[in-house]
Structure 1
């Protein structure tokens, strides 16, 4: 049987190929989803029912209402049914984006880093929530960063991959020698 033509790939198959382009396994970079529960009320129950390792970025005991809209970090496995369901549900809805981390960086380490980004201080000294886990915020914020800000934002992460406003495209952000590098990937056949 021959391989499917690139333009015949389903969205989920294409995304899995892009997210695990460096391979899978314990020594390969690990793929996480950083999800915004406020974007879709199905996210939190879906995560809790999955067999995936996950954590909430908020600390302490949360009310059910806050838990439902909280940001979650989920370790993804391309062979789990949950991953395909999440990609199918979330793509195009700005529910979150993907974080690629070295194999030796744990879910706990990523959570610790991302928790440092939840609050920012404005010019007047007011503390504000920073919704960096929303891909619309990520796409707006990262291009404005100086190299030292990018380093602080990325922490132990290698790459952030997010949907764009154009159907069938994603954008990947990385740091290369202190400078932001951004690549745009277009799903084969999506822009016909």
Structure 2
């Protein structure tokens, strides 16, 4: 009889995600959804001036506790480890490999916050939820993908339904319009000493 694979603890998963973020060709960011509750919002506020609401104006003020935020991931800190652990267990965040200028990355991410339906009615598009991103990107046309990535986003990383894996959606080049999909497998054996 085969033994069930041992799932990684949140801390083990966070330890494995650090090298993934370190290999970014640009700069690593997280897009965190504050609507997941007080704990998510408190974690975002620890980033201080390195947390940027994707909403603007009155919407940013009114919806601050429910908005998506771009976090500049800078150093290995307790807050970063907590974010990685929570992102592993929940669907609070996706990760982005983007341009060095956070303002350019924020602007590109803001462009996809809303979509229009066939009646031209505007709806929120919660792509920053890993479950939605995993549905959207594999089915997007090359034109949609090019518009979604823009020039300033090189890759997105999201948790898969398999609790041992993350998926990477990377463009073949920051300037190219084609993009690639690949999985980064975090199997139980990866945590063996």
Q: Which consecutive unaligned segments of at least 5 residues does structure 2 have? A: 1-7
1:70 equivalent among 63, 67, 70: 67
Give runs of aligned pairs for residues 130-145 of structure 1, distance below 5 A: 130-145=125-140
Deviation at 1:80, TM superposition (A): 2.3
- Is the 1:162–1:171 contact (alpha carbons within 8 Å) kept by the matching residues of 2? yes
Partners of 2:58 and 2:117 lie apart in 1 by: 28
SS of equivalent residue, structure 1 residue 42 = helix
2:162 equivalent among 163, 166, 170: 166
Give runs of aligned pairs for residues 173-192 of structure 1, distance below 5 A: 173-176=169-172, 177-189=176-188
Deviation at 1:40, TM superposition (A): 3.5
> Judging changes above 3 Å, is the alpha-carbon distance between structure 1 residues 148 and 56 closer, same or farther for their aligned structure 2 residues?
same
Deviation at 1:46, TM superposition (A): 1.4
SS of equivalent residue, structure 2 residue 16 = helix
1:107 equivalent among 98, 102, 116: 102
- After superposition, give the CA deviation of every residue in 1:119-160 in whole Å (9 maximum; x if it has no partner): 111112211111111111110011111111111101110000
> Paired residue for 1:126?
121
Q: Which has the higher helix share?
A: 2
**Deviates further, 13-22 or 137-146:** 13-22
Give runs of aligned pairs for residues 79-118 of structure 1, distance below 5 A: 79-103=76-100, 106-118=101-113
- After superposition, give the CA deviation of every residue in 1:38-81 in whole Å (9 maximum; x if it has no partner): 12431122121235611001112458772111100001124222
Deviation at 1:180, TM superposition (A): 3.0
Partners of 2:166 and 2:47 lie apart in 1 by: 25
Q: How much is the aligned-residue C-alpha RMSD, in angstroms?
A: 2.5
Deviation at 1:118, TM superposition (A): 1.3
SS of equivalent residue, structure 2 residue 63 = helix
Partners of 1:29 and 1:121 lie apart in 2 by: 31
TM-score by length of 2: 0.82
Partners of 1:83 and 1:142 lie apart in 2 by: 26
> Paired residue for 1:3?
none
- Is the 2:32–2:44 contact (alpha carbons within 8 Å) kept by the matching residues of 1? no
> Paired residue for 1:10?
12
- Is the 2:99–2:105 contact (alpha carbons within 8 Å) kept by the matching residues of 1? no
TM-score by length of 1: 0.83
